[in-house]
Chain A
Amino acid sequence: DAGVTQSPTHLIKTRGQQVTLRCSPKSGHDTVSWYQQALGQGPQFIFQYYEEEERQRGNFPDRFSGHQFPNYSSELNVNALLLGDSALYLCASSFSGRYQETQYFGPGTRLLVL
Chain B
Amino acid sequence: GNSVTQMEGPVTLSEEAFLTINCTYTATGYPSLFWYVQYPGEGLQLLLKATKADDKGSNKGFEATYRKETTSFHLEKGSVQVSDSAVYFCALSTPRNFNKFYFGSGTKLNVKP
Contact = CB atoms under 8 A, between A and B. Distances in A.
Interface of A: 4, 31, 33, 35, 40-45, 48, 50, 55-56, 58, 90, 92, 94, 99-108
Main secondary structure of the interface of B (DSSP, over half): strand
Given A90-B43, A90-B44, A105-B36, A100 B95 contact: yes
B2 to A, nearest CB: 10
B25 interface: no
Nearest to A104: B46
Given A41-B105, A99-B95, A105 B100 contact: no
A56 B103 contact: no
Contacts of B36: 105
Interface string B43-54: 111100101000
A103 B99 contact: yes
A41 B102 CA distance: 12
B70 interface: no
A107 B106 contact: no
Contact of A42 (B49, B98, B103): B103
Given A35-B101, A35-B103, 13 more contacts: A31-B98, A31-B99, A41-B105, A43-B89, A44-B103, A55-B98, A100-B93, A102-B49, A104-B46, A105-B36, A105-B43, A105-B45, A106-B43
Contacts of A102: 34, 46, 49
B44 A105 contact: yes
Contact of B100 (A33, A42, A100, A107): A33
B42 interface: yes
Interface string B83-113: 0000001010101011111111110000000
Contacts of B81: none
Contacts of B99: 31, 94, 100-101, 103
Contacts of B58: none
